[in-house]
Every structure is written in C-alpha cells, then in structure tokens.
C-alpha cells in the first residue's frame, strides 16, 4: 500500500514497477519493497521529499540505471561510490586506485 504522501503519479509508478517485478518472478513483498524504494528515490530526485540522501540526488536515475548495478556481475557500485566509501573508511592511496582496487580495498 503506497503512503498517503505520494501523489497519483507516484502511486501509478509504484503499481507499474511492482507489477513488472512480480511478472519477472519476484515475491509480492519483495516487489513492494523495491517499488517503494524506487519511487521514494525518484521523489527525492524531483525535490518532492522533505529529506534526501546525497546518493539519491547525485546517483544516476533508477530508470537510467536499469539493472546496471544489480550486483550480479562486473557492474556493482560505481567508482565514485567506492571512492566515497574508501574516503569514509580513511583508506590511504584511494585517489590513485582503479575501480577494481577500490572494490578490494573497501571489501565488496
């Protein structure tokens, strides 16, 4: 059930995403969670949410990403995300590391 704070467009978007995930074999509860997270991220990107994490705003949109970072292959997190995590963990030499080196350093 979508939250009351969503407008009709976001409710339709939620239903569309949820139905698509269920058609692809996801359970109803998993589809609901993924759809809600996707809609909330799009709301944050559009300035409709009161609060938004930096990754919600700076990251590529959910539609554009389209599974590029589904963690089921070489894609995974972006180099910028890995770098930010390495910075948060104070890993030395991160500025000269490749994406693969950053993955190993932060522990995938």
- Banded model confidence at residue 41, pLDDT cuts 50, 70, 90: confident
Rounded mean pLDDT, 22-51: 87
**7 and 38 fall within a common domain:** yes
**4 and 55 fall within a common domain:** yes
**More confident site: 42 or 49:** 42
**19 and 31 fall within a common domain:** yes
Q: Whole domain around residue 11: which residue ranges?
A: 1-66
Residue 99 buriedness (CB in 10 A; 0-12 / 13-18 / 19+): middle
- Banded model confidence at residue 27, pLDDT cuts 50, 70, 90: very high
**107 and 82 fall within a common domain:** yes
- Counting the structural domains of the chain, the total is 2
């Amino acid at each position: 059930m979508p939250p009351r704070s969503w407008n009709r467009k976001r409710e339709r978007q939620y239903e569309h995403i949820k139905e698509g995930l269920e058609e692809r074999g996801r359970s109803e509860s998993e589809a609901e969670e993924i759809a809600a997270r996707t809609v909330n991220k799009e709301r944050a990107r559009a300035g409709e949410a009161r609060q938004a994490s930096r990754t919600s705003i700076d990251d590529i949109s959910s539609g554009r990403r389209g599974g590029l970072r589904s963690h089921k292959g070489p894609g995974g997190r972006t180099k910028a995300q890995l770098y930010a995590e390495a910075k948060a963990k104070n890993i030395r030499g991160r500025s000269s590391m490749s994406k693969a080196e950053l993955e190993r350093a932060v522990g995938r």
